[in-house]
Amino acid sequence: MFKTTIKFLSIRRITTILSIVLMILSGLSLVTRGLNPGIDFTGGFQIEVSFQEAPEIQQVRLDLSTSGFDDAIVQNSGSATDLMIRTAPREGVDSRKVGNQIIEAVSQSSNNVELLSSEYVSAQVGEELTEQGGLAMIFALIMIMIYIVFRFQWKFSIGAVLALIHDVLITLGIFSFFQITFDLAVLAAILAVVGYSLNDTIVIFDRIRENFRSMRRTETLEVLNASITQTISRTIITSSTTLMVLLALYFMGGQSLSGFSVALIIGVLIGTYSSIFVASTSVFYLDISTTDLLPSKREEVDDGMP
């Protein structure tokens, strides 16, 4: 598609600064604002109700606080007639009664209320999940690093993991900045972002490895640029098709999947950027060279498929 090599890495200073600034801002937002965790992580009650006619949210809040739920979070979910109500775990209350109490409270002054879904998570389960989620993330990163060291080389491994940390941190940063609810589905999405972004990075790395072997006398920067150029149309096409389905999921998949789709949309965009600029720039700064990639003892066997 592109006959001449595009000098992607000539703007590496700008992209590096941009990435670092974004990561610092994300970190700052995570520290100061924090995430807006769903009840999967905090524990508590979450109830989705559908009203016959669109309710006044202000009135619903008032009804709830007069019934003792002054900490309840009320927001629209999906349509104007559907509401999502969330409240923290509470002391000395029989957990099996809270759901009914909330429904009673919101139906005081309003029209017909239908229960769509209700959820209760104890604080203890929430804590475990937070722990598990963090562990899963770390464990996934370690496993992936090991695989890349084994299949490629340690410099690539570091490049790939830096790109992943970059993607996850910035996606989390955006969730924190806009205070989008961070629930289990979003956590799954972020791990899928890890998988996706890695996919992209590996494709470019694969080409870099191949080119280092075939373009022996070329300068490192030239090899990197050539590799990115050769794979760029694939990168764009795959990102586009993935974004297409994610947009379909966001617009048609309903409220329950919106957080999930948003996380993946952000993640795919950042992941595409990072595999070009973060991963490749990192291996450049790590001073990758032909000697790192010469087939060691045995000649790399071309996996004769099919």
Partner 1 sequence: MNQYPFWKNAMVIIVILLGTLFALPNFYGEDPALIISKESGLVFNEAELKDVEDFLLSRESNFTSVTNKNGDLLIRFANVEGQIDASDRLRSYLGRFSTVALTFAPRMPGWIQQLDLNQMSLGLDLRGGVYFKFEVDLDAAIQQRLDQYITDINKSLIDQRIRRSIRKEGNSLRVELVNPEDYNQARRSVREIDNLLEVTNASSGSQTVMVVSMTDEQLKQRRDFAIQQNILTMRNRVNELGVAEPIVQRQGLDRIVVQLPGVQDPTQAERILGATATLEFRLVCENENAFEAEEKGRAPIGCDLFKDRSGNPVLLKKKAIVTGNQLIDASQSFSQGRPAVSIRLDSKGSKSMLETTKKNLNKPMAVLFVQQRQETIEEDGDFFNRSVLDKEVINIATIRGVFSSQFEITGLTVFEAKDLAILLRAGALAAPIFKIEEKTVGPSLGQDNIDKGFAAIVAGLIAIIIFMILYYKGFGLIANIGLVVNLTLIVALLSLLQASLTLPGIAGIVLTVGMAVDANVLIFERIREELRNGNSPQASIAAGYQKAFGTIADANITTLIAALVLFTFGTGPIKGFAVTLSLGILTSLFTAIIASRAVVNFFYGNKTIEKLRI
CB of 128 to partner 1, least distance (A): 9
* 73 vs 125, beta carbon nearer partner 1: 125
> Min. distance of Cβ 211 from partner 1 in angstroms?
12
CB closer to partner 1, 119 vs 222 = 119
- Shortest Cβ 184–partner 1 spacing (Å): 5
Rounded distance between C-alpha atoms, residue 285 and residue 14, angstroms: 14
Nearer to partner 1 (CB atom), residue 178 or residue 251: 251
In the complex, what is the shortest distance from the CB of residue 304 to partner 1, in angstroms, rounded to a whole number?
7
User: How far apart, in whole angstroms, are the C-alpha atoms of residue 151 and residue 171?
Assistant: 28
Residue 216 Cα distances to 127, 165, 203, 219, 279, angstroms: 53, 31, 20, 8, 21
Residue 31 CA to residue 76 CA, distance in Å, equals: 27
**CB-CB neighbours of 194 under 10 Å:** 24
Specify the DSSP class assigned to residue 93.
-
The Cβ of residue 70 has, within 10 Å, a number of other Cβ atoms equal to 11
Name the residue nearer to partner 1 (CB basis): 14 or 115.
115
The minimum distance between CB 286 and partner 1, in angstroms, equals 19
* Of residues 121 and 169, the one with the C-beta less far from partner 1: 121
